[in-house]
Amino acid sequence: MTQTRIPRLHLVYGIVLAVFTVIVGALFIAQAADIYFGGEGYSRELVIEHCSEIAVPFWLWVAAVAAGGILWLIFLPKKPKLKAHIEPRNTLSRLVGMAGTGESEIYLAAAAAVKKEKKVRAIVWIACLAVCLVCAGVAAAFLFNLPAYPDDPNEAILRLVRSALPCIAAAFLSLIGATVFDAVSAKRVLPQARILLREGGRIPPAEKQPSRFAAVLASPRTLLAVRLAVLIAAVLLIAFGIAGGGMNDVFLKAVNICTECIGLG
């Protein structure tokens, strides 16, 4: 098989396996719902009985997964060349940071467009944060409303899932939407950032000056003072140990270990 057909084969297999996986998952969900709405509760025998009804598609799915592994080993896809991925927001920040100032109409219009788009992105992220906070508050209200929990543990868990899962899904979707909008917005305004760089010139990178505290720490005098302080502390501790009889105690312990434990002498 040629290298042009191998990717198509893997693509078709991936689509078929994905659809098959969704079908098997739907069958499991249907069996779980049948057990729940049947009103008989959950038991080992009941779960085995319902799972046996979908045993054939499940084992066919397992066989399809194994066949996919064999297919991958036999028809190895050609390794794609890695392409550099440029994140639009980082590129935008870098271009705006390098651009100088200008007074032309083109420069001012581009600067206004960049500023407006930055404000819109900030509003979107604030709205996303608000949605996440509201979802967290609603989920916490359901979670800590202990008197409302039913006595049946299974019913309590299902009620908690029904209450908290929509909040989690809403917060997750808002984060995804804000992230996608941020990337699209930054990519849309990249031409204006390039205009800023072209019309305003490029600012040379400034050399980073160390802080005063870092300069004091890196000074040779500071290093010499630390060494002298450590030396003086060591001499004082040794002197205190000798004066307190610590050297004699260590010597006796060493003698006992050599003569009693190890057996020397």
pLDDT of residue 162: 78
Residues forming beta bridges with residue 99, ordered by sequence position: 202
Of 74, 100, 123, the domain-final residue: 74
Which H, E and C letters describe 106-154, residue by residue? HHHHHHHHHHHHHHHHHHHHHHHHHHHHHHHHHHHHHHCCHHHCCCCHH
The larger pLDDT score, comparing residue 143 to residue 59, is at: 59
Which H, E and C letters describe the chain, residue by residue? CCCCHHHHHHHHHHHHHHHHHHHHHHHHHHHHHHHHHHCCCCCHHHHHHHHHCCHHHHHHHHHHHHHHHHHHHHCCCCCCCCCCCCCHHHHHHHHHHHECCCCCHHHHHHHHHHHHHHHHHHHHHHHHHHHHHHHHHHHHHHHCCHHHCCCCHHHHHHHHHHHHHHHHHHHHHHHHHHHHHHHHHHHHHHHHHHHHHHHHCECCCCCCCCCHHHHHHCCHHHHHHHHHHHHHHHHHHHHHHHHCCHHHHHHHHHHHHHHHHHCCC
Same domain, 109 and 181: yes
CA–CA distance, 220 with 228 (Å, rounded to integer): 12
Is residue 206 in some structural domain?
no
Digit-coded pLDDT (tens) for 130-142: 999 998 888 888 7
Is residue 208 in some structural domain?
no
Same domain, 161 and 225: no
Assign 260 a pLDDT band (cuts: 50, 70, 90): low
**Which residue range is the domain that position 143 belongs to?**
88-200
What is the mean predicted confidence (pLDDT) over 179-206?
81
Same domain, 53 and 118: no
Same domain, 220 and 188: no
CA–CA distance, 178 with 130 (Å, rounded to integer): 12
Quote the radius of gyration of the chain (alpha carbons, Å). 35
Residues 6+ apart with CB under 8 A from 92: 114, 186, 189, 190, 193
Same domain, 92 and 196: yes
pLDDT of residue 119: 92
What is the mean predicted confidence (pLDDT) over 46-69?
86
Same domain, 147 and 186: yes
Same domain, 97 and 183: yes
66, 1 contact by CB (below 8 A): no
Question: Which span out of 87-96, 175-184, 248-257 was modeled with the highest average pLDDT?
Answer: 175-184
pLDDT of residue 32: 81
Nearest C-alpha neighbor of 185 from the set 112, 90, 89, 262: 89
pLDDT beyond 90 at 46: no
Same domain, 97 and 192: yes
Same domain, 132 and 168: yes
Helix 88-98 / helix 153-200 crossing angle, nearest 10 deg = 30
The larger pLDDT score, comparing residue 202 to residue 117, is at: 117
What is the mean predicted confidence (pLDDT) over 125-130?
93
**Tally of domains in the chain:** 3
The structure's pTM equals 0.47
150, 159 contact by CB (below 8 A): yes
